Amino acid sequence: MIFCSQLTRNFAPSAGSVLGISQVSFQANRGEFVVLHGASGSGKSTLLLILGGMLQPDSGTLSLDGFNPYALTRSDASEFRARTVGFVFQLFHLIPYLDVRLNVLAGLPAGSPDATSRAEELIQQLGLLDRQKDYPATLSAGERQRVALARALLKSPKVILADEPTGNLDPANAAIVLGHLDAYRKRGGTVLLATHGSDADRYADRILRLDAGVLVSSVSCSPTPTSPR
Amino acid sequence: MISSFQLILREMRHSWLNTCLSLVALIATVALLVGVHLLTAAAEREARRVSRDLGFNLRIVPLNTDPDRFFLEGYSDQTLPEEAVRQLASAAGTFLTFNHLTPALERRIRIQERDCLLTGLGHAVTGPGDKKQPMGFHIPLGQAHVGFLLARHFNLKNGSSLRVLNRDLVVEKVLLEAGTDEDLRLYTSLADAQAILELPGRISEIKAIDCLCLTADQDPLTQIRAALKKVLPEARVLQMRTLADARAKQRQSSENVTAFAVPMTLLAAALWVGTLSILNVRQRRSEIGLWRALGSDSGFIATLFLGKAALLGLIGGTVGYFVGTTVALQFGPHLFPVTAASLQANFQLFPKALLLTSAFAALAAFLPAMIAVAQDPAGTLRAD
């Protein structure tokens, strides 16, 4: 599903403390839950953005679902990203002027079959039924992240790239989010989750560790069976 | 699942302060331009009326007119054929220099032992396609306008009869006291004056208005004389410099104000709307990054910003047109009392206002929209 080799991205000194990545190679298969560990500034977000087709690497090769998104035209790359990748961010990135329901539906092309019913189903599964007419400013951090997760899941992407999705959540909400990512993985999706904590480790098939932009370890493990709440 | 139009509407409601400030700028600009357009037209009408009351500023007289005598008598004792007016009017370029060509025949006459000035006025000729009302009086055949002193001497009122040498005239109008030789003047149609003076087909001058509208220091007379020499070499032109200068200065002043105010207003509005658009783009950096992450292309991002600007332009153009028109109609009659009745809404401006305001707002927001399109989404989405 994801194959990358020797991915490198350098930032200009003016980019401040943001580090790039250097010579990162790994592979993630369909239905695999990969946790990416590393301290703040170690290059986790940079790697996820490169994998999601949002940040072109300086060198190295990438194959996502058989395609290199950087070899596509801009419009084809956008379409590919819409179809293949779901993002979940630490800062949620909800659209402030859309209510919960429309945030979940955001980015979905008009006329997508069954989108509304699937959105309602996800809203219900994620415990947001009574908040679906509310706006992001009125939601708690946990609710916002669940909306962002629903938005990512609605497209049924092949890969979910989650950047510190539990970084701003209490343990209960973190467990809900991780449980749903685990359920998605069990349905055949691939999850790549970047975190500097250890909450996600029990769901991981593999744990990668980045240090100053370099992939220093890759450890396979057996996930602890769970079910989403 | 939600259209771009709905997104724009919801964002406008969410960013209400930015929306309101942009609308204020657009409404104020359109209102100002519509108001200026209506009031400038009113000012021109008013100036034309005032100029008409001031009189013609060019007098085209026979070449052999003795200037000394002309200024002592106030008219030329020589004549031109009446055809000279048509000859002048039909020449190419005449109306770039002259307008309101009015044939006149003037002489001093005696009516019942009383000296007076007889002025016969023919139909004024204006430029082809010129919608301006001809200046000066139009006096029907057999009728007369009588100066104040003359009317008092003969005890004339509107509708009175007056025999002038061999002709009976009806007083159509007694003129108000002018304090000039106008008070001793008897205006008739050109044909009546020619009959009274037994000078059929002759005129003593062509009265005109100078279209160059140059002030004396810009030496308009040389240009006017050169233009006349080509077309009517048997005539010479005299300029009533005080009147011409006053008219030129008034017109130049009005044009200068418009030429300064309109671009400055547009520039200020463009800067205002552009700055607000840039602020809007900066506020929405995270949203732009998110749309990119969700797979939206550059066209969609540009549509969000240019579409918003165009929609603001439509609203601003509509409200601004009605505000500008209302203000002009409310205050215009006080500013231009002489032509107050002709101050009316110009509905042909409305579609132009809508179209141009939308295009203007989109143009002002173009650079910010391109900034949004070119924004690197990774910068706003990166957590660490």
The 10s digit of each residue's pLDDT in B347-358 is 999 999 999 999
**B104, part of any domain:** yes
Local confidence band at A207 (pLDDT 50, 70, 90 cut-offs): very high
Q: What pLDDT is attached to residue B231?
A: 83
Among A44, A52, A54, A55, smallest CA distance to A18 is for A44
Residue at B179 is within a domain: no
> Is it the case that residue B383 has pLDDT exceeding 70?
no
The answer to whether the Cβ–Cβ distance between B378 and A164 falls below 8 Å is no
- pLDDT at A228 > cutoff 60: no
Reply yes or no on whether the pLDDT at B13 is more than 60: yes
- The residue among B3, B290, B292, B373 with the most chain A CBs within 10 A of its CB, best to mutate, is B290
Asked if residue B134 and residue B21 are part of one domain, the reply reads no
Question: Does residue B225 sit in the same domain as residue B257?
Answer: no
| Predicted pLDDT at B130 | 60
Same domain, yes or no: B194 and B282: no
If asked whether residues B287 and B367 sit together in one domain, one would say yes
- What pLDDT was estimated at residue B171? 95
The domain boundary residue, chosen from B218, B239, B260: B239
Residue in chain B nearest A108 by alpha carbon: B1
- The arithmetic mean of pLDDT across residues A199-223, rounded, is 91
Please name which of B184, B103, B196, B104 lies closest in space to residue B146, comparing C-alpha atoms.
B184
CB contact (8 A) between residue B296 and residue A82:
yes
Cα separation, A21 vs A215, whole angstroms? 8
Contacts of A33 (CB under 8 A, 6+ apart): A181, A182, A185, A190, A191, A193, A200, A203, A204, A205, A206, A223
Q: Which of residues 325-364 of B touch A (CB under 8 A)?
A: none
| Residue A154: closest C-alpha in chain B | B294
| Secondary structure (DSSP) of B6-55 | HHHHHHHHHTHHHHHHHHHHHHHHHHHHHHHHHHHHHHHHHHHHHHHHH-
Q: CB A93 to CB B286 under 8 A?
A: yes
Nearest CA-CA partner of A120 in A102, A93, A144, A138? A102
pLDDT for residue B313: 95
* Domain identity same for B234 and B197: yes
Residues of chain B with Cβ-Cβ distance to A90 below 8 Å are: 383
* Torsional class of A53: left (φ above 0), alpha (ψ -120 to 50), beta (otherwise): left
Q: Is residue B154 part of a domain?
A: no
Rounded to an integer, the average pLDDT of B143-158 is 93
- Nearest by CB to residue B294, choosing from A45, A107, A116, is A107
Q: Does B166 reside within a domain?
A: no
Tell me: pLDDT of A150 over 70: yes
Q: Where does the pLDDT of residue A115 fall: very low under 50, low under 70, confident under 90, or very high at 90 and above?
A: confident
Beta strands in B147-217 (DSSP E): 161-164, 167-174, 185-189, 202-203, 205-210
Confidence at residue B216, expressed as pLDDT on a 0 to 100 scale: 64
Q: Mean pLDDT of all residues in chain A?
A: 89
Span B90-108, average pLDDT: 82
Instruction: Say whether B384 and A55 touch across the interface (CB within 8 A).
Output: no
Q: Are B131 and B160 in contact (CB under 8 A)?
A: no
Higher pLDDT, A226 or B309: B309
Q: Are residues B315 and B234 in the same domain?
A: no
Kindly state the average pLDDT of the residues A16-38. Answer: 87
- What pLDDT shows up at residue A223? 67
Asked whether the predicted pLDDT for residue A71 surpasses 80, the reply is yes
> For the purposes of burial, counting CB atoms within 10 Å of the CB of B151, is it exposed (0-12), middle (13-18) or buried (19 or more)?
buried
Identify the domain boundary among B239, B273, B305: B239
Which of B1, B8, B15, B16 is the best residue to mutate to test the A interface, defined by the most A CB atoms within 10 Å of its own CB?
B1
Looking at the fold, whether B124 and B222 belong to one and the same domain comes out as: yes
Flag whether residue B17 sits within 8 Å of chain A, measured between CB atoms: no
B360 Cβ contact list (under 8 Å, min separation 6): B26, B266, B269, B270, B313
pLDDT confidence band for B213 (50 / 70 / 90): low
pLDDT of residue A68: 94
CA A37 – CA B167 distance, rounded (Å): 116
Residue in chain B closest to A106 (alpha carbons) equals B1
Q: Radius of gyration over alpha carbons of chain A, in Å?
A: 17
Section A191-204 average pLDDT: 92
Please give the DSSP secondary-structure letter assigned to residue B133: P
B383–A55 CB contact, under 8 Å: no
Coil, strand or helix: which one is B79? coil
Q: Is the pLDDT of residue B76 over 90?
A: yes
Nearest to A59 by CA among A18, A85, A20: A20
Residue B21 above 50 pLDDT? yes
Residue B196 or B251, more confident: B196
User: Are residues B1 and A75, on separate chains, in Cβ contact within 8 Å?
Assistant: no
Q: Helices in A15-73 by DSSP H: which ranges?
A: 44-51
**Cα–Cα distance measured from residue B239 to residue B77, given in angstroms and rounded to the nearest whole number:** 18
Whether chain A has a CB inside 8 Å of the CB on B378: the answer is yes
B225 & B341 share domain: no
Residue B126 sits at φ, ψ, to 5 deg, of -110, 170
Q: B231 and B112, same structural domain?
A: yes
The pLDDT value given to residue B71: 86
The pLDDT of residue B136 is above 70: no
Per the CB < 8 A criterion, the answer to whether B77 and B65 are in contact is: yes
Q: What is the pLDDT of residue B36?
A: 86
Using a CB–CB cutoff of 8 Å, tell me whether B374 touches chain A: no
Q: Using pLDDT thresholds of 50, 70 and 90, give the confidence band for residue B223.
A: confident
Distance of residue A110 Cα from the nearest chain B Cα, in angstroms: 4
Cα A74 from Cα B4, distance rounded (Å): 20
Do B36 and B73 belong together in one domain? no
Contact A93 B381 (CB under 8 A): yes
Q: Which residues contact B29 (CB under 8 A, 6 or more apart)?
A: B265, B266, B268, B269, B316, B320, B357
Nearest CA in chain A to B381: A89
Return the residue in A45, A89, A117 with the most chain B beta carbons within 10 A, the one to mutate for interface testing: A89
What pLDDT, on a 0 to 100 scale, did the predictor assign at position B376? Answer: 83
The one-letter amino acid code at B381 reads: L
| Cβ-based neighbours of B173, under 8 Å, separated by 6 or more | B145, B146, B158
Q: How far is A14 from chain B (nearest CA, A)?
A: 13
The top-scoring range by mean pLDDT among B62-76, B259-273, B316-330 is: B316-330
Q: What whole-number percentage of chain B has pLDDT above 70?
A: 90
Establish if B158 belongs to a structural domain.
no
Residues in A closer than 8 angstroms to B11, CB to CB, are: 97
Lowest mean pLDDT across A54-68, A208-222, B179-193, B327-341? B327-341
The whole-chain average pLDDT of chain B stands at 86
Confidence label for B212 from pLDDT (cuts 50, 70 and 90): low
Which residue bears the tokens 């600009």?
B29
**3-state percent breakdown (helix, strand, coil) of chain B, nearest 5:** 60, 15, 25
Q: Do A82 and B294 touch (CB under 8 A)?
A: yes
Question: What is the rounded distance in angstroms from the CA atom of residue A93 to the CA atom of residue A91?
Answer: 6
Contact of B2 with chain A, judged by CB distance below 8 Å, is answered with yes
Domains of chain A (ranges plus CATH)? 2-220 (3.40.50.300)
In this prediction, what percent of chain A has a pLDDT beyond 70? 93
Whether residues B71 and B215 fall in one domain = yes
| pLDDT at B52 > cutoff 50 | yes
Altogether, the residues listed in chain B come to a count of 384
Interface test with chain B among A85, A97, A154, A159, by most B beta carbons within 10 Å: A97
Contacts of A89 in chain B (CB under 8 A): 381, 383
Q: Tell me the C-alpha distance between B125 and B210, whole Å.
A: 14
B27 pLDDT more than 90? yes
Average pLDDT over residues A204-212: 94
Show the tokens assigned to A44.
Answer: 């986790």
Crossing angle of helices A115-125/A141-154, nearest 10°? 140
In chain B, pLDDT over 90 holds for what percent of residues?
Answer: 49
Q: Answer whether B295 touches A (CB < 8 Å).
A: yes
Q: Which structural domain range is residue B214 located in?
A: 58-138+188-239
CB-count burial class (<10 Å; 0-12, 13-18, 19+) for A186: middle
For chains A and B, count residue pairs whose Cβ atoms are closer than 8 Å.
Answer: 96
Check CB contact under 8 Å for B13 and A52.
Answer: no
The pLDDT-based confidence of B48 (bands split at 50, 70, 90) is low
Of B2, B293, B298, the CB nearest to A105: B2
Angle, in degrees to the nearest 10, between helices B349-364 and B16-54: 130
With respect to residue B326, please indicate whether it lies within any of the assigned structural domains: yes
Token output for B98: 């002259």
- Nearest CA to A115 out of A124, A104, A126 is that of A104
Interface check B286 vs A, CB under 8 A: yes
Nearest one of B182, B256, B268 to B215, comparing CA atoms: B256
CB contact under 8 A, B297 and A112: no
| One domain, residues B221 and B124 | yes
Query: Distance, in angstroms, between A160 CA and closest chain B CA?
Result: 12
> Is a pLDDT exceeding 50 seen at residue B31?
yes
Among A49, A78, A98, beta carbon nearest to B382:
A49
Q: What's the domain count of chain B? A: 2
**Candidate from A22-36, B106-120, B213-227, B273-287 with smallest mean pLDDT:** B213-227
Residue where one domain finishes, among candidates B239, B265, B300: B239
Hey, is A86 helix, strand or coil?
strand
B297–chain A nearest CA distance, Å: 6
Spatial contact of A36 and A204, defined as CB atoms under 8 Å apart: no
- Nearest Cα of chain A lies from the Cα of B10 at a distance, in angstroms, of 6
Is residue B181 assigned to a domain?
no
3-state secondary structure at position A5: strand
Residue B276 lies in a domain: yes
